[in-house]
Structure 1
Amino acid sequence: MEITFLGTSSGVPTRSRNVSSVALRLPQRGEVWLFDCGEGTQHQLLRSDLKSSQIQRIFITHMHGDHIFGLMGLLASIGLAGTGAPIALCGPQGLDSYLRACARYSHTNLGRRIDVTESQPGVVFEDSEYLVSCLPLKHRIPAFGYRIVEKDRPGRFMVEKAAAQGILPGPIYGRLKRGETIVLPDGRRIRGNELCEPDEIGRKVVYCTDTVFCEAAIDLARDADVLIHEATFAHQDAQMAFERLHSTSTMAAQVALAAGVQQLILTHFSPRYAPGNALQLDDLLDEARAIFPKTCLARDFMTYEVPRRRTKTAASVT
Structure 2
Amino acid sequence: MDNNFVALLGTKGGPAIRPGSSMPTSNLLCLNGHKIVVDCGLGVTRGLVDQGLQLKDISTVFITHLHSDHYLELGGLLHTAWTAGLKTKVNVWGPAGLDQYWNNFVASMKSDIETRIDDEGRPDLRKLVAIHVIDNDDIKLDTGIVVAPMRTEHPPLVDCFALKFTSDEKTVVFSGDTAPIATMVDFAKDADVLIHEAMLESALPALMARIGNGSEKLMAHWLRSHTFAHDAAQIATSAGVKQLALSHLIPSDDPDYSQDDWANGVTDHWSGPLHVGFDGIKIAL
Q: Give me the TM-score of the superposition, normalised by structure 2.
A: 0.81
Question: Which residue in the other structure is 2:243 paired with?
Answer: 263
Secondary structure, counterpart of 1:217 in structure 2: helix
Question: Which residue in the other structure is 2:70 paired with?
Answer: 67
Question: Which residue in the other structure is 1:124 paired with?
Answer: 139
Question: Amino acid of the residue matched to residue 51 of structure 1?
Answer: Q
| Equivalent of 1:251 in 231, 235, 238 | 231
Deviant stretches of 4+, over 6 Å: none
Are 1:2 and 2:22 an aligned pair?
no
| Equivalent of 1:299 in 275, 278, 282 | 278
Question: Which residue in the other structure is 2:160 paired with?
Answer: 143
Are 1:208 and 2:175 an aligned pair?
yes
Question: Which residue in the other structure is 1:187 paired with?
Answer: none
Deviations 1:120-147 (A, max 9, x none): 1230224463211110011021210100
CA contact (8 A) 1:92 1:143 kept: yes
Deviations 1:247-283 (A, max 9, x none): 11011111101211111000111236621x3x44421
**Distance of 2:42 and 2:17 partners within structure 1:** 8
Question: Which residue in the other structure is 1:168 paired with?
Answer: none
Deviations 1:166-189 (A, max 9, x none): xxxxxxxxxxxxxxxxxxxxxxxx
Secondary structure, counterpart of 2:125 in structure 1: coil
Q: Which runs of 5+ in 2 are unaligned?
A: 114-123, 206-218
Superposed CA RMSD in Å reads: 2.2
CA contact (8 A) 1:241 1:248 kept: no
Please give the residue correspondences for 1:47-58 in structure 2 after superposition, counting only pairs within 5 Å: 47-58=50-61
Are 1:233 and 2:250 an aligned pair?
no
Question: Amino acid of the residue matched to residue 150 of structure 1?
Answer: S
How many percent identity over aligned positions?
Answer: 29
**Distance of 2:176 and 2:199 partners within structure 1:** 9
1:47 shift after superposition: 2.6
Q: Which structure's relative contact order is higher, taking Cα pairs within 8 Å and 6+ residues apart?
A: 2
The count of aligned residue pairs is: 252
Please give the residue correspondences for 1:18-33 in structure 2 after superposition, counting only pairs within 5 Å: 18-26=23-31, 28-29=32-33, 31-33=34-36
CA contact (8 A) 1:241 1:247 kept: no
1:51 shift after superposition: 2.3
1:79 shift after superposition: 1.6
Question: Amino acid of the residue matched to residue 21 of structure 1?
Answer: S
Q: Which runs of 5+ in 1 are unaligned?
A: 152-201, 307-318
1:240 shift after superposition: 5.0
Q: 1:266 to 1:220 in 2, by over 3 A?
A: same
Q: 1:228 to 1:96 in 2, by over 3 A?
A: same
Secondary structure, counterpart of 1:84 in structure 2: coil
**Which structure has the larger Rg?**
1
Secondary structure, counterpart of 1:274 in structure 2: coil
**Distance of 2:59 and 2:127 partners within structure 1:** 14
Question: Amino acid of the residue matched to residue 185 of structure 2?
Answer: I
1:220 shift after superposition: 1.9
